[in-house]
A and B are shown apart, each in its own frame.
Chain A
Amino acid sequence: MTATVERPEHDAPSGGKVPLVELKNIGKSYGNITALKDISLRVHAGEVTGILGDNGAGKSTLIKIIAGYHPQTEGDLLVDGESTNFSSPKDALAKGIATVYQNLAVVPLMPVWRNFFLGQEIRKKMFPFPLDSNAMRATTLTELAKMGIELPDVDVPIGSLSGGQKQCVAIARAVFFGARVLILDEPTAALGVKQSGVVLKYITAAKEAGFGVVFITHNPHHAHMVGDHFVLLNRGGQKLDCTYDEIDLEHLTQEMAGGDELEALSHELRGAKGA
């Protein structure tokens, strides 16, 4: 391929010794409101860190700190063991931290390959620098195939793909453009069982390929299937920090749901039905 694409240079993933990203006692307050307090977590290469939490637990605030949208007000953010301050998402991206948001940042009516390269188009080197459509089509096909997605035709509008496929294209795009750490914001939230399966497989594939994955979800089942390490947020605080071996699904679900609270709720509901 004669065309080139700008992508940031990185060293190879460090084999899991030094975490790719580490948060130490991170806190964030907006004026007198504390959104996050004392959060510590590590993202290793080749591992999935599941961040669980109910609505309003502080998940979005946490992502935004790691993604460089706004800085923390307390604590340290370490990338490759070095204390770092991001001033914009671009900084985070340059360090290989890419975020795939819920809306996926795709343009539904545009073909898959145009979406894949949107904003980072490959151009031929001769004047008037036209797009190298064939290189982009081929790259899109191979990059998607690498992660186990086979589309018969990358010329279809991305809006015609299923939710899971769209999610996978968005992740593949982040990977191709130099991400080492993938932050996935609720990737399975709007998906059915099968589609969620597609995305979970993809997350596992990314993990096996050596990426550090931050998987934000409120679904403990999904987190437990692919996670190596779980962090549970509750009302801005960190409620749990443990590895896959230390917790089973049942406990994770219970912790997530607020344990006793859920039991009390189910009791209440049953009582109401009986009455």
Chain B
Amino acid sequence: MSTKVDLSERKVVHDERVKERNRVQRLLIRPEMGALIGAVAIFIFFFIVAPPFRTPEALATVLYGSSTIGIMACAVALLMIGGEFDLSAGVAVTTGSLGASMLAYNLHLNLWLGAALALVLSLSIGFFNGYLVMRTKIPSFLITLGTLLMLTGANIAVTKLISGTVATPSVNDMAGWDSAKAVFASNVPVFGVQVRITVLWWLLFTIVATYVLFKTRVGNWIFAVGGDEESARAVGVPVTKVKVGLFMLVGFAAWFSGMHLLFSFNTVQSGQGLSNEFIYIIAAVIGGCLLTGGYGTAIGAAIGAFIFGMVQQGIVYAGWEPDWFKFFMGVMLLFAVIANNAFRNYAAKR
């Protein structure tokens, strides 16, 4: 048979074009590499141009600003790695704190109980988003855009209805205030500098998220549902549970951030939070998350949030017009996306 090939000879021939990637390339392929280089550059920049930036107290302030973004960015990054968006994440923070405050105040509950009820509310919003996205197969961008509008309206309308104004009443004389403030909004001395406790929570969440992403089965599934949903389903990954779980994780983070708001400011402005969802998404993207899902890290999101914090405070310390902040962030975003792309392409070349 002329067409029959000799199949008994199954020697593997190494392709000489395939070379092992060296260590530098391995390091550069990490999704957060571009953001890290950017963060170092920005740090050095403000260190030079803004003398007040050089103090440890300034660093604590920068870290605080970063942490309020970073706690949300961490959850949002996981959701994005899982292939979905949550545009309602910004106002959901306000919803969480409004819920806790008004439930506790109007029902005369311990603030901890109010917080627990608000947690149920926040997780339900996450579940609602996730369930609708999975059930209808409509892109999460649209579903959560709907939730965003609903929550924005409801936050203000319900607050006006119950308290007659757009802000919640003071709750700092109620039961549970001191202990809750200690958990969500206290200061912790670190090497003689007062650091806000959210910084520690932010670091903890980032570490846990990193561990979950890379060292657990659930983490494997998160990458899989974001990378190729159909393939993941075909090999037995519980796609719906993973995605709904991720939306609920964002709900949890929103609740946590909301508790920080409530216990550090005592009263909550019902109109705030809008457009913060983009800040979280941008932090995740600067940190190397792909908009298309299946790629990114929690550490990257933390670095993205840190960049935000540095620019926000750095502009103030340098004595510039604060309006430059958004311009600067736009530049950062473009730069980061282009740099991340370039790094990925470089690293993919073998």
A residues bordering B, Cβ < 8 Å?
101, 103-110, 114, 117-121, 123, 128-131, 133, 148-150, 152-153, 156, 160, 197, 200-201, 204-205, 221, 224-226, 248-249
CB distance from A268 to the nearest CB of B (A): 27
CB distance from A174 to the nearest CB of B (A): 10
| Among B4, B230, B237, contact of A225 (Cβ-Cβ < 8 Å) | B4
Closest to A155 in B: B26
CB distance from B209 to the nearest CB of A (A): 14
Cβ–Cβ < 8 Å partners of B14 in chain A = 150, 152
Q: A108-B228, A131-B220 are in contact. Are A152 and B18 (CB under 8 A)?
A: yes
CB distance from A172 to the nearest CB of B (A): 14
| Among B215, B216, B227, B348, contact of A107 (Cβ-Cβ < 8 Å) | B227
Chain B interface size band reads: 20 to 34
Q: Are A106 and B228 in contact (CB under 8 A)?
A: yes
Cβ–Cβ < 8 Å partners of A109 in chain B = 223, 227, 294-295
Interface positions of B from 1 to 41, Cβ below 8 Å from A: 1, 3-5, 7, 10, 12, 14, 18, 20-21
**How far is B290's CA from A109's CA once the two chains are assembled, in angstroms?**
11
Cβ–Cβ < 8 Å partners of B224 in chain A = 107, 110, 114, 118-119
Q: Are A119 and B295 in contact (CB under 8 A)?
A: no
Q: Are B223 and A249 in contact (CB under 8 A)?
A: no
Q: Are B12 and A152 in contact (CB under 8 A)?
A: no
| Among A119, A197, A201, contact of B235 (Cβ-Cβ < 8 Å) | A119
Cβ–Cβ < 8 Å partners of B236 in chain A = 119-120
Cβ–Cβ < 8 Å partners of B215 in chain A = 130-131, 133
| Among B5, B219, B231, B350, contact of A105 (Cβ-Cβ < 8 Å) | B231
CB distance from B57 to the nearest CB of A (A): 37
Q: A109-B227, A119-B235, A160-B348 are in contact. Are A225 and B12 (CB under 8 A)?
A: no
| Among B10, B216, B220, B295, contact of A114 (Cβ-Cβ < 8 Å) | B220
Query: Is B232 in contact with chain A by the CB < 8 A criterion?
Result: yes
Q: A109-B294, A114-B220, A118-B220 are in contact. Are A249 and B230 (CB under 8 A)?
A: no
Cβ–Cβ < 8 Å partners of B211 in chain A = 130
CB distance from B90 to the nearest CB of A (A): 28
CB distance from A206 to the nearest CB of B (A): 11
Q: Are A131 and B216 in contact (CB under 8 A)?
A: yes
**How far is B228's CA from A109's CA once the two chains are assembled, in angstroms?**
9
* A interface secondary structure, majority: loop
| Among B12, B237, B294, contact of A118 (Cβ-Cβ < 8 Å) | B237
CB distance from A215 to the nearest CB of B (A): 14
Q: A119-B237, A160-B350 are in contact. Are A103 and B20 (CB under 8 A)?
A: no
Q: Are B231 and A107 in contact (CB under 8 A)?
A: yes
- 27 A-B interface contacts by CB (under 8 A): A107-B228, A107-B231, A107-B232, A107-B294, A108-B227, A109-B223, A109-B294, A110-B220, A110-B223, A114-B224, A118-B220, A118-B224, A118-B232, A120-B236, A129-B216, A131-B216, A131-B217, A148-B12, A152-B14, A153-B21, A200-B7, A201-B10, A204-B10, A205-B10, A224-B4, A225-B5, A249-B1
Closest to B294 in A: A109
CB distance from B183 to the nearest CB of A (A): 23
Q: Are A201 and B20 in contact (CB under 8 A)?
A: no
Cβ–Cβ < 8 Å partners of A160 in chain B = 348, 350
**How far is B221's CA from A221's CA once the two chains are assembled, in angstroms?**
39
Q: Are B234 and A101 in contact (CB under 8 A)?
A: yes
Cβ–Cβ < 8 Å partners of B4 in chain A = 224-225
**How far is B4's CA from A204's CA once the two chains are assembled, in angstroms?**
12
Q: Which one of B10, B219, B221, B228 has the highest number of Cβ atoms from chain A below 10 Å of its Cβ?
A: B228
**How far is B3's CA from A2's CA once the two chains are assembled, in angstroms?**
47
